[in-house]
Amino acid sequence: MKRAMITLYLIPRNVGVVLLRVYRAVISPLYGDVCRYYPSCSAYALGAVQEYGLIVGSFFAARRVLRCHPWAEGGIDDVPLKRHRRFGVTSFGFVVPLATERADPHVWTS
Amino acid sequence: MDLIGTILWPLKWVVELLLVAFHWLFSNLGMGYNDGITWVLSIVGLVLVVRAALIPIFVKQIKSQRKMLEVAPQLKKIQDKYKGKKDQFSREAMSRETMELYKRTGTNPLASCLPLLLQMPIFFALFSVLNDAQRSNAGVGPLNQALATSFGNANLFGVAPLHDTFAQQWGLWTGGQDFNLSVMIIAATMVVLMTASQFITQLQIVSKNMSPETKASPMFKQQKIMLYLLPLVFAFSGVAFPLGVMFYWLTSNIWTMAQQFLVIRNMPTPGSEAAKAREERLARKGKLIATDGDVIVVDEAKKPAQRQQPVGKARAKKQTGPKK
Q: Which tens digit of pLDDT belongs to each residue from B189-238? A: 888 888 888 778 877 777 777 666 666 655 566 666 667 777 777 777 77
Residue pair B291/B69 in contact by the 8 Å Cβ criterion: yes
d(CA B247, CA B254): 11
Give residue B272's pLDDT band: very low, low, confident or very high (50, 70, 90): confident
Cis peptide before B10 (omega within 30 of 0): no
DSSP 8-state class, residue B242 = B
Question: How high is the pLDDT of residue B155?
Answer: 74
Q: A83-87, B9-13, B260-264, B284-288: which has the minimum mean pLDDT?
A: B284-288
Q: Compute the average pLDDT of residues B317-324.
A: 54
d(CA A35, CA B115): 11
d(CA A38, CA A43): 9
Across the interface, whether the CB atoms of A69 and B103 are under 8 A apart is answered no
Contacts of B66 (CB under 8 A, 6+ apart): B267
Choice between A26 and A14, residue whose per-residue pLDDT is larger = A14
Question: How high is the pLDDT of residue B280?
Answer: 83
Choice between A23 and A71, residue whose per-residue pLDDT is larger = A23
Q: Does A91 contact chain B (CB < 8 Å)?
A: no
Residue B321 has pLDDT above 60, yes or no: no
Residue pair A98/A86 in contact by the 8 Å Cβ criterion: yes
Give residue A95's pLDDT band: very low, low, confident or very high (50, 70, 90): confident
A33 → chain B, closest CA residue = B110
Contacts of A98 (CB under 8 A, 6+ apart): A86, A87, A88, A105
A5 vs chain B: nearest CA distance in angstroms?
33
Residue B241 has pLDDT above 70, yes or no: yes
Residue pair B296/B283 in contact by the 8 Å Cβ criterion: yes
**Number of residues that make up chain B:** 324
- E strands present in chain B: 155-156, 160-161, 288-289, 295-296
Residue A18 has pLDDT above 80, yes or no: yes
Across the interface, whether the CB atoms of B225 and A29 are under 8 A apart is answered yes
Average pLDDT, chain B: 75
Choice between B105 and B255, residue whose per-residue pLDDT is larger = B255
> Using a CB-CB distance cutoff of 8 angstroms, which residues of chain A are in contact with residue B95?
38
pTM of the model: 0.65
Q: A19-28, B27-36, B43-52: which has the minimum mean pLDDT?
A: B27-36
Choice between B324 and B38, residue whose per-residue pLDDT is larger = B38
Give residue A109's pLDDT band: very low, low, confident or very high (50, 70, 90): very low
Q: Compute the average pLDDT of residues B162-189.
A: 78
Residue B303 has pLDDT above 60, yes or no: no
CA geometry: angle at A7 spanning A3 and A11, to 5°? 170
d(CA B128, CA B135): 11
Q: Does B316 contact chain A (CB < 8 Å)?
A: no
- Interface A:B, Cβ pairs < 8 A: 68
Give residue B318's pLDDT band: very low, low, confident or very high (50, 70, 90): low
d(CA B99, CA A73): 10
* Cβ burial B69-91 (10 Å sphere, 16+ → b, else e): bebbeebeebbeebeeeeeeeeb
Sign of the dihedral defined by the CA atoms of residues B120, B121, B124, B125, in that order = negative
Question: How high is the pLDDT of residue A108?
Answer: 46
> Using a CB-CB distance cutoff of 8 angstroms, which residues of chain B are in contact with residue A25?
222
Surface of A (47-86) touching B: CB under 8 A? 65, 68-76
Across the interface, whether the CB atoms of B112 and A32 are under 8 A apart is answered no
Residue B67 has pLDDT above 80, yes or no: no
Q: B35-49, B106-120, B302-316: which has the minimum mean pLDDT?
A: B302-316
**Number of residues that make up chain A:** 110
Residue A110 has pLDDT above 50, yes or no: no
Q: What are the pLDDT digits (tens) for B69-125?
A: 677 778 788 888 888 777 778 888 888 888 888 888 877 777 777 777 777 777 777
ipTM of the complex: 0.72
d(CA B260, CA B220): 18
Question: How buried is B47 (Cβ within 10 angstroms: 0-12 exposed, 13-18 middle, 19+ buried)?
Answer: buried
CA distances from B57 to A37, B15, B198 (A): 17, 20, 21
Q: Give bridge partners of residue B161 from the DSSP assignment.
A: B155
Sign of the dihedral defined by the CA atoms of residues B17, B18, B19, B20, in that order = positive
Q: Give bridge partners of residue B295 from the DSSP assignment.
A: B289
CA dihedral of residues B79, B207, B64, B70 (deg, nearest 10): 50
Q: Compute the average pLDDT of residues B237-253.
A: 81
Residue pair B199/B227 in contact by the 8 Å Cβ criterion: yes
Q: Does B112 contact chain A (CB < 8 Å)?
A: yes
Give residue A103's pLDDT band: very low, low, confident or very high (50, 70, 90): very low
- E strands present in A4-54: 37-38
Question: How high is the pLDDT of residue A47?
Answer: 92
Q: Compute the average pLDDT of residues B318-322.
A: 55
Residue pair B109/B72 in contact by the 8 Å Cβ criterion: no
Q: What are the pLDDT digits (tens) for A28-83?
A: 766 667 788 888 888 999 999 999 989 999 999 999 988 888 778 888 889 988 88
CA geometry: angle at B231 spanning B247 and B201, to 5°? 70
Residue B278 has pLDDT above 70, yes or no: yes
Choice between B289 and B240, residue whose per-residue pLDDT is larger = B240
Across the interface, whether the CB atoms of B99 and A73 are under 8 A apart is answered no
